[in-house]
Structure 1
Amino acid sequence: MFIYLFLLSLPFTLLSISFLYLVYARSPDKFIWAALAAAVFAFCGAIISFAVYKRSDNHNGFFTRVKHRQLLARMIIDNKLYLTKNRNRNNPRQKIIYFPKVYYHYKELIITVRFPMDLQKNQDKFNRIGEQLEQALFADLFDIVDEKGFKAYKLINDPIQNRIDITDIKPNSKEIELMHGFTWDYNKFPHALISGVTGGGKTYFIQALLKSFIDLGADCYICDPKMSDLSQLDQVPILEEKVFSSTGQINKCVREFYEQMVDRQKEYKELLRKAGEIGKDYRNFNMQPKVLFFDEYVAHMSNLDFKEQEKTLGYLKQIILLGRQLGFFLVAGMQRPDAKYFEDGMRDQFGLRVSLGQMSRSGYIMMFGESDKNFKVQSDEVRGWGYASIGGAYVRAFFAPFVPSEFSFYNYLLNKDEPSQLSGQSRKAIAERGRGTPSEAARAKSGGRS
C-alpha cells in the first residue's frame, strides 16, 4: 500500500521540489513562503493519492487487480509450488527449474485464474485450490472449467455488487435476469425451488419472480397455505380468483392446473401433427405460459393425510416432468426442502434452486446435493443473500433482487392492466383455437385483461 501511495504522490512531490527550486533561484527572500505553499501542495497531493487508491481498491479497480496478482505470486512462492535443483555438487544453493505459468484475467467483476495441467509435481494441489482462492481473493467461486492444458477457476469479485433492483428486472421470452451476469433460462431449466429461513427474503424473491412472469404475460396462480403476504394479492384484478389459501382450495388449484396441462398436451400433439415437425414447444404455437407459485409447500403437504399427499405429489410430479415443453412451470417455496415430499428425484428436476439466509450443512445438501462449496455467512444487515444453482451447475453466491422501501408490489400489480408481453398475435391464436381453458379464452377476448 505504501509503495502505491508513494508512486501516486510522487508527481506532486516533484512539482513541489521544482517549484521551490525556481523560487529560490529567482527570489531567495520568498523561499519560506514558497516552502509553505509547496508543503500544502504536497499534502493535498498525498490526500488525493490516498483517495484515488481507496476508490480504486473499493471499486475493484487497478489496485485490486495488482493485489490479486501479488497474492497469487506469494501463494506460489510461500507454498513452494515450483521445482528447484542444486546448482552443482559444490554449491548447495538451488535454482528454479520450473515455475508454473498462472494466468489472471479480470473483466466486469469476473476473475478467471488458470493453473497449468502439465503433469508436474503440484498438479494435484492446483486441482483443489478453489476454496483457497475464494478466501484469498475475497470472491465467490461459481465455475470450474477444464481447458486444454489448464484448469480455469471463475470467481465473482464481491458478488453483492452484481445485485439488481426489482424494478431493473427485464424478462424476455427466454430468460430472466436475477443478478448482473446471472440469468435463468426458464425454458431450458424449468421450475424453481426456493428455500429460506424466516426473514431470509424468500417471499420477496418469490414476488420478484411473480412480477417477472406477469410482465411476460404468463397466467399465474398462487397457493399460500400460511396466508402470508402472497395471499393478500387476491384483490388484485390481474390475479382475481387465482390466489388460494385453504387446504381444499389449494388441492383443487393443483388438480386443475394439472388438468389444464393435460388439455394443452392434447392440443399440442394435434398442432405438432398438423405442423409435421418435431422439436417445437409451446412458444412456437403462441401458447401462453402458466406458472403455479406454491409458497410453504412443505407446510401444506404436512397437513394432508396420506391419500391426499399421494394425489398432490402425483399431480406435481407430472407438472415437473412434462411442463417444460407445454409451458407449465412450478415455483415452490419452503423453509426446508424435506426429501419426504420430493420423492423419486423430483428435487433434481428443478432447474433453478435458491437458498436464502443461513442454513445448516444438511440443509444445503438437501438443496444442492453433495458439494465441496464453502458456504460462508453474510452480515445480519444484509437481506436476501444465499446461494443458487441453475441446471445443476456449480453453486454460487446469490443476492436476490433488492426491493426498495418505496416499491409497493401490490400497487404495481394493481396498476397493471394486462400482461405486457402477451402479444396480440398470441391472444388471437388462443381465441381462434377455441380449445384453451376458459381463462385463456376470456383473456384473449378481453385483450389480455383478467
Structure 2
Amino acid sequence: MVKQKIKLPKVSLKNNGKVGFSIYLPMDGQKYQDRFRDRRISQPMSAMLFADGVGTNDIFGFKSFEFISNPLGLRLGLSDMTITDHTIEIMKGVVWDYEKYPQALISGDTGSGKSFFLFSLLNGLIKSGAIVDVADPKETDLSVLGKTASLKYRVTYGRDRILKSFYRFYLEMIKRGREYHDLLNDNLEENVGNYRKYGLKPHFFVFDEFGAFVSGLKYNESEAIQQILGQITMLGRQLGYFVAIAMQKPTADTIGSASRDQFQFRVALGKMKSSGLSMMFPDDVDEVQFKELSKNLKGWGYLAMTPGQARSFFAPVIPKDFVPFKYFDELGQQYPAIPVEPMGEIKEFLDSKSAKYVELNF
C-alpha cells in the first residue's frame, strides 16, 4: 500500500481584538486558489466559527476574510458618532461616506428601530453641514421636527405638501446643475471637481415610509415621482443632491430597478423575509448567513456599501431620556436650518436658462 502525501494550504488567523478576527488564505497558484478566491467560502466559515463575515481584501499573496464575533461590542452612542463634512460613523469602524456611496435605502418593520436609526442619521447629516429636508407621510416621529431650529420649515407631512416639497428638491437639483455648468465654463483651466470644490453644500431629502406614500398616489403622480427619483439618484452625486429612502418592505413596485441600482448604502433593520433581503442585498442572499442578532434589542440588522458584502450592524444607541424636539432644536443653535427657496423663483431661473425638467402640476 502506497501512502499518499497530502499538502494542505497554510492558513493564518489574526486576532483583531475583542470583536473580531481575520483569516488569510494563500494565493500561491496551488490547487486550492480558485476556491479561496470565491467569497462564498465565507458562509461556511461563518457557520463554523460562529462569526459574521464582513468583507474580503486582496493582499499580495493572500486573500483575507474579515469576521466579527461580537457586533454589539461595536455599537456607538448618539454622542459618540464621529462626523466630518461628508462622512458619518454609524458603528465603530463603519463609516458612511455619502459622496463615495451615495443614496441610502433603509428598510425595517414597525418595532425594528428604524425611527431611532433615522434620528441618528439626521443627527449625522445636520452635523456634516448638509441641508436636510424630511418627509413624514404618517405624521409620526419626524413630523414635529419641522418646528425645531435645525429643521425649521423643512419637514413636511400630508400628501400634497410632500409632493410639492420633493418636487422643489428636484427642481433645486436641476437649478444647481445649471449653476454648476456655468461654474465649469468660468473655470475651464482648472481641474473638474464636484459640488464641494465650488463651495456648495450637500442637500439631502430624507423620505420616511416612501412605499406607503407611493402606493396612495394616482398612477400619473406615481410615475412622475419615479421619474424624478430616477434623475436624482443618477445625477445627484456630482451635484451634491442625495436621498435617504426609508420604508417597511422594499418591493419592485415602490422603487423601479433603474433607481434601485443607484442606492449604494443599504440598511435592513430587524428580521426580514428572504424576499425583502433579495431586494436589499441581491448579491449576498446566497453568500451571507443572515440571522437574528438579538431578541430583545432594537436597531440591529445588516448593512452594505455596494459593491461590498452585507454585514451585521447595530444602529447607534438613543438615550432613554432622548426628546427629539428638544435635541434637534438645541442642535439648531449651532446648525440652523437654511431658509426654503420659493418654487416660483426656482422655476423662473430654470425657464430663463431654457432648462429641461419634469413638469408636475398640482
Place the TM-score, normalised by the shorter chain, in its bin: 0.7 to 0.9
Cα-to-partner distance string for 1:353-410 (whole Å, 9 max, x where unaligned): 0000000111100111132211111232121010000122111111111112023232
In the alignment, the residues of structure 2 paired with residue 418 and residue 316 of structure 1 have an alpha-carbon distance, to the nearest angstrom, of 32
2:52 aligned with 1:137? no
Shift of 1:111: 1.4
Is the 1:218–1:419 contact (alpha carbons within 8 Å) kept by the matching residues of 2?
Answer: no
Q: Quote the residue 1:285 is aligned against.
A: 198
- Find the partner of 1:390 among 288, 305, 322: 305
How many residues end up aligned between the 2 structures? 338
Query: Which structure is richer in relative contact order (CA contacts within 8 A, separation 6 or more)?
Result: 2
- Find the partner of 2:263 among 346, 350, 353: 350
Matched residue of 1:382: which SS?
coil
In the alignment, the residues of structure 1 paired with residue 335 and residue 51 of structure 2 have an alpha-carbon distance, to the nearest angstrom, of 38
Q: Quote the residue 2:356 is aligned against.
A: none
In the alignment, the residues of structure 2 paired with residue 145 and residue 286 of structure 1 have an alpha-carbon distance, to the nearest angstrom, of 35
Cα-to-partner distance string for 1:248-289 (whole Å, 9 max, x where unaligned): 001001110111111111111111221223431111111122
Is the 1:216–1:421 contact (alpha carbons within 8 Å) kept by the matching residues of 2?
Answer: no
The residue correspondences of 1:252-331 to structure 2 (distance < 5 A) are 252-276=164-188, 277-331=190-244
2:8 aligned with 1:99? yes
Q: Quote the residue 1:111 is aligned against.
A: 21
In the alignment, the residues of structure 2 paired with residue 161 and residue 381 of structure 1 have an alpha-carbon distance, to the nearest angstrom, of 16
In the alignment, the residues of structure 2 paired with residue 216 and residue 392 of structure 1 have an alpha-carbon distance, to the nearest angstrom, of 24
2:87 aligned with 1:175? yes
Is the 1:216–1:420 contact (alpha carbons within 8 Å) kept by the matching residues of 2?
Answer: no
Is the 1:191–1:320 contact (alpha carbons within 8 Å) kept by the matching residues of 2?
Answer: yes
In the alignment, the residues of structure 1 paired with residue 194 and residue 110 of structure 2 have an alpha-carbon distance, to the nearest angstrom, of 38
Is the 1:214–1:419 contact (alpha carbons within 8 Å) kept by the matching residues of 2?
Answer: no
Percent identity of equivalent pairs: 37
Over the residues paired in the alignment, what is the CA RMSD in angstroms?
Answer: 2.5
> Bigger radius of gyration, 1 or 2?
1
Q: Quote the residue 1:67 is aligned against.
A: none
Could you tell me which amino acid in structure 1 is paired with residue 201 of structure 2? Q
Q: Quote the residue 1:3 is aligned against.
A: none
In the alignment, the residues of structure 2 paired with residue 222 and residue 297 of structure 1 have an alpha-carbon distance, to the nearest angstrom, of 11
Give 5+ residue unaligned stretches, structure 2.
344-362
Could you tell me which amino acid in structure 2 is paired with residue 319 of structure 1? I
Is the 2:52–2:289 contact (alpha carbons within 8 Å) kept by the matching residues of 1?
Answer: no
288 and 122 in structure 1: CA distance in 2 versus 1, 3 angstrom threshold: closer
Is the 2:9–2:26 contact (alpha carbons within 8 Å) kept by the matching residues of 1?
Answer: yes
Is the 2:150–2:336 contact (alpha carbons within 8 Å) kept by the matching residues of 1?
Answer: no
Is the 1:140–1:396 contact (alpha carbons within 8 Å) kept by the matching residues of 2?
Answer: yes
Shift of 1:120: 4.8
308 and 419 in structure 1: CA distance in 2 versus 1, 3 angstrom threshold: farther
In the alignment, the residues of structure 2 paired with residue 221 and residue 290 of structure 1 have an alpha-carbon distance, to the nearest angstrom, of 8
Could you tell me which amino acid in structure 2 is paired with residue 231 of structure 1? S
- Find the partner of 1:413 among 328, 343, 346: 328
2:135 aligned with 1:223? yes
The residue correspondences of 1:57-76 to structure 2 (distance < 5 A) are none
Give 5+ residue unaligned stretches, structure 1.
1-88, 431-435, 440-450
341-350 vs 361-370, greater mean Cα deviation: 341-350
186 and 251 in structure 1: CA distance in 2 versus 1, 3 angstrom threshold: same
Q: Quote the residue 1:16 is aligned against.
A: none
Normalising by structure 2, report the TM-score. 0.86
- Find the partner of 1:160 among 58, 72, 76: 72
Could you tell me which amino acid in structure 1 is paired with residue 43 of structure 2? E
Cα-to-partner distance string for 1:9-63 (whole Å, 9 max, x where unaligned): xxxxxxxxxxxxxxxxxxxxxxxxxxxxxxxxxxxxxxxxxxxxxxxxxxxxxxx
Is the 2:86–2:128 contact (alpha carbons within 8 Å) kept by the matching residues of 1?
Answer: no
Is the 1:220–1:292 contact (alpha carbons within 8 Å) kept by the matching residues of 2?
Answer: yes
- Find the partner of 1:197 among 96, 101, 109: 109
Shift of 1:151: 2.8
Cα-to-partner distance string for 1:210-236 (whole Å, 9 max, x where unaligned): 111111222211111111101121221
Shift of 1:148: 4.3
- Find the partner of 2:314 among 392, 395, 399: 399
Matched residue of 1:136: which SS?
helix
125 and 283 in structure 1: CA distance in 2 versus 1, 3 angstrom threshold: closer
99 and 391 in structure 1: CA distance in 2 versus 1, 3 angstrom threshold: closer
Q: Quote the residue 2:355 is aligned against.
A: none
Normalising by structure 1, report the TM-score. 0.70
137 and 309 in structure 1: CA distance in 2 versus 1, 3 angstrom threshold: same
Shift of 1:96: 4.8
In the alignment, the residues of structure 2 paired with residue 245 and residue 421 of structure 1 have an alpha-carbon distance, to the nearest angstrom, of 21
In the alignment, the residues of structure 1 paired with residue 51 and residue 171 of structure 2 have an alpha-carbon distance, to the nearest angstrom, of 46
Could you tell me which amino acid in structure 2 is paired with residue 268 of structure 1? Y
Matched residue of 2:84: which SS?
coil
In the alignment, the residues of structure 2 paired with residue 137 and residue 233 of structure 1 have an alpha-carbon distance, to the nearest angstrom, of 45
211-220 vs 127-136, greater mean Cα deviation: 127-136
In the alignment, the residues of structure 2 paired with residue 172 and residue 282 of structure 1 have an alpha-carbon distance, to the nearest angstrom, of 16
Q: Quote the residue 1:368 is aligned against.
A: 281
Could you tell me which amino acid in structure 1 is paired with residue 10 of structure 2? K
The residue correspondences of 1:35-46 to structure 2 (distance < 5 A) are none
* Structure showing the higher helix proportion among its residues: 1
Could you tell me which amino acid in structure 1 is paired with residue 232 of structure 2? I
Matched residue of 1:415: which SS?
helix
Is the 2:184–2:192 contact (alpha carbons within 8 Å) kept by the matching residues of 1?
Answer: no
Could you tell me which amino acid in structure 1 is paired with residue 181 of structure 2? K
